[in-house]
Amino acid sequence: MRAPFGARVTTAVSLRGPLCVGIDPHPALLEAWGLPVSAEGLGRFADICVEAFAGEIAVVKPQSAFFEAHGSAGVAVLERLIGDARQAGTLVILDVKRGDIGSTMAAYATAYLAEGSPLAADAVTLSPYLGFGSLDPALDLAAQTGRGVFVLALTSNPEGAAVQRATGAAGRSVAQDIVDAAADRNAGASPLGPVGLVIGATVGRTDLDLDRLNGTILAPGFGAQGATLADLRTVFGASLRHVLPSSSREILRHGPDPAALRDAARRVRDALAVAHPL
């Protein structure tokens, strides 16, 4: 039985620094790397990323949609990427943002969190907007298998604010209710629980109370999307020690040379480490 996700991500960050590299092989990037927009090009892209980041960076985050767009051959590349990165000791958060109910949610959980599944990652992203309780099959299976989940709480896209910042009868925002539900799931875990949150690094000041979370916060948007070290401090305050900033374009634009990609990731990682309280 593997160690719980909260312990593994804590160890990974302490050894390799607080950075998650997003692996987002959109067509324009494949072309910029001189690769065909095909499953073959996708496979070469994935191999380069594994060579550059696996064993060097704490966490990578493949965006499943860019692989699914190539059909079964693309999903096969994703399976290989997950396996190769994990074999090298790098944690993999699979960005799928799934959210459904009942047996369908249970099937998604099996696909991404069950032992023996070809797509099983160390953690996945989930959407709670059919109700946080609808995620129970995934939360339960993650806890059983030592894996983690990252639940969307406050995202950086402008359309999200109308739902996520809306307040209910008790006066709390929807996002705060998600934070509180995640905290309840993580209660008593050490060093951190298996339920993390996704909070955009570009959302600015929030009124979220993160003190009880006891989990990891995935913060997309660092680097090319505009978020700076100062933004991370503004958004997360004292909770910054549990934040895993994610950067993709800032790093991937240095490809396809693996050494250049690795150097770019190291620069971002080292800059984050200066401001990241361990």
Angstrom distance (rounded) from CA 234 to CA 243: 12
> Could you give the 3-state DSSP secondary structure of residue 220?
strand
- pTM of the shown model: 0.96
Pair 180, 156: CB distance under 8 Å: no
Q: Which residues are catalytic?
A: 97
**Containing domain of residue 48, as a range?**
5-273
Neighbours of 158 (CB within 10 A): 7
Tokens (6 digits) for 213: 């979370």
CATH number of the domain at 193, please: 3.20.20.70
Instruction: Please tell me the predicted confidence (pLDDT) of residue 276.
Output: 67
Question: Any idea which residue has 């894996």 for tokens?
Answer: 147
Number of domains the chain is built from:
1
Instruction: Please tell me the predicted confidence (pLDDT) of residue 223.
Output: 75
Pair 112, 92: CB distance under 8 Å: no
Instruction: Please tell me the predicted confidence (pLDDT) of residue 277.
Output: 62
Tell me, yes or no, whether 92 lies in a domain. Answer: yes
Instruction: Please tell me the predicted confidence (pLDDT) of residue 178.
Output: 97
Instruction: Please tell me the predicted confidence (pLDDT) of residue 170.
Output: 85
Tell me, yes or no, whether 168 lies in a domain. Answer: yes
Instruction: Please tell me the predicted confidence (pLDDT) of residue 91.
Output: 98
Neighbours of 39 (CB within 10 A): 18
Burial of residue 14 (number of CB atoms within 10 Å: 0-12, 13-18, 19+): exposed
Tell me, yes or no, whether 278 lies in a domain. Answer: no
Neighbours of 133 (CB within 10 A): 10
Angstrom distance (rounded) from CA 195 to CA 120: 16
Tell me, yes or no, whether 44 lies in a domain. Answer: yes
Instruction: Please tell me the predicted confidence (pLDDT) of residue 274.
Output: 78
Instruction: Please tell me the predicted confidence (pLDDT) of residue 69.
Output: 98
Tell me, yes or no, whether 203 lies in a domain. Answer: yes
Per-residue pLDDT of the chain in tens (278 residues, 90 and over written 9) = 789 999 999 999 999 999 999 999 999 999 999 999 999 999 999 999 999 999 899 999 999 999 999 999 999 999 999 999 999 999 999 999 999 999 999 999 999 999 999 999 999 999 999 999 999 999 999 999 999 999 999 999 989 999 999 998 788 999 999 999 999 999 999 999 999 999 999 998 888 999 999 999 999 988 767 788 888 999 999 899 999 999 999 999 999 999 999 999 999 999 898 766 65
Choose among 240, 195, 235, 229: nearest CA to 215: 195
Cβ-Cβ contacts under 8 Å for 251 (sequence gap 6 or more): 21, 223, 261, 264, 265, 268
Cβ-Cβ contacts under 8 Å for 247 (sequence gap 6 or more): 19, 20, 21, 22, 222, 223, 224, 268
Tell me, yes or no, whether 183 lies in a domain. Answer: yes
Pair 4, 253: CB distance under 8 Å: no
DSSP string, 108-168: HHHHHHSTT-TT--SEEEE--TT-GGGGHHHHHHHHHHT-EEEEEEE-SSGGGHHHHT-B-
Angstrom distance (rounded) from CA 227 to CA 173: 23
Instruction: Please tell me the predicted confidence (pLDDT) of residue 224.
Output: 67
Side chain identity, residue 50: V
Choose among 83, 82, 138: nearest CA to 114: 138
> Could you give the 3-state DSSP secondary structure of residue 39?
helix
Tokens (6 digits) for 14: 């302490």
Tell me, yes or no, whether 185 lies in a domain. Answer: yes
Tell me, yes or no, whether 253 lies in a domain. Answer: yes
